Structure 1
Amino acid sequence: MFHKILVAINNTEIGQQVFQEALSLATANNAELLLLHVISPVDDEELNFPSPQADSIYGSFHTHGVEYYVRQWEALKKHRIEFLTLLTNQAIAQNINARFIQEIGTPSRLICEIAQTWKADLIIIGRRGLTGINELLLGSVSNYVLHHASCSVLTVQGKTPVTQKTSQAA
């Protein structure tokens, strides 16, 4: 029986699947949910450094680049807080005790640390289905969590890319 479920979530299709699974398990077990979103400055696709070519050659790149990045960073954090608030309110509307936190750093490590500190019984996390060289190059948050978590882990499989097989004519 699970009493405290940590839900590692992001604003993607697989994130929605993870959230739905968490709602089901929380309802069935009368469990508390902690929604966790980790912003990784290195991995987040919405954070883009401006290129030096985009600015003048007179040295204003640094000042304008930093200002641009700070504005982009603040907008992203605000957008993600709104997303987490919406999900938390959906859970509360279903009589589930829920709250959220947003952290900045390395997702895999933070998920495990927060689960241990919060004394979670279960972590629910999405899995993109990376294998081989993609997993090696991009890393796998779910794989790290599976091997380092101090509690049970449920991975929700995202849609895997469909590989087309050529059919041979007889």
Structure 2
Amino acid sequence: MLYSKIVVAYDGSETADKALDTAMKLTKLDQDSRLEILHVFNFPKYMLGDGVVVPSISIENTDYSKQVTDKLKGKIMDDSNVHIEVREGASAAKEILAYASESHADLIVVGSRGLNSLGEFILGSVSHSIVQHAKIPVLVVK
């Protein structure tokens, strides 16, 4: 068995689509592997004096998350070995790492994005943090 449980971080972007395609190909190599797709969104929080204000649930965030999960369902042909999870968190990287640990994953697949014109050599902040802190292998897809 190559990988028994693969977690792929998915935000709907082009690089996330590439990461998902790669993770799906890896999953197809072994009929017993399981694909865990994780979408993380963040409700904005604002500092007001000494307190933190968390606005009520944002329709925009929940609509976008629904669009992302609908897009995922359209991409997945055989969903018998696939689970889609949506979580809220201030740090996408921390949520992805926590989910990978909780689900006993043995590989994390994440997309990379360029930050500027030299960005082809620089990982995005989420993928960089995952690579730095993961206790399991991480595949970064460009």
Aligned partners of 1:7, 1:88: CA distance in 2, in Å? Answer: 14
1:93-138 deviation line (CA, Å, top 9, x unaligned): 236511111111110111111101110010000111337xx8xxxx
Report the TM-score when normalising by structure 1: 0.64
Give unpaired runs (5+ residues) of structure 2. 47-53
Identity of aligned residues (%): 27
Aligned residue runs from structure 1 range 15-94, under 5 A = 15-30=16-31, 31-41=33-43, 70=56, 73-88=58-73, 90-91=75-76, 93-94=77-78
> RMSD of the alignment, in Å?
2.7
1:17-71 superposed Cα distances (whole Å, 9 cap, x missing partner) = 11111111111133211110111245xxxxxx9xxxxxxxxxxxxxxxx9xx757
Shift of 1:84: 1.7
Q: Tell me the CA shift for residue 13 of structure 1.
A: 1.0
Stretches of 4+ moved more than 6 A in 1? none
Tell me, which stretches of 5 or more residues in structure 1 are unaligned?
43-48, 50-65, 158-170
Equivalent pair of 1:122/1:154 in contact (CA under 8 Å): yes
How many aligned positions are there? 126
More helix by share: 1
Indicate the residue corresponding to 2:85 in structure 1: 101
Which one has the largest radius of gyration? 1
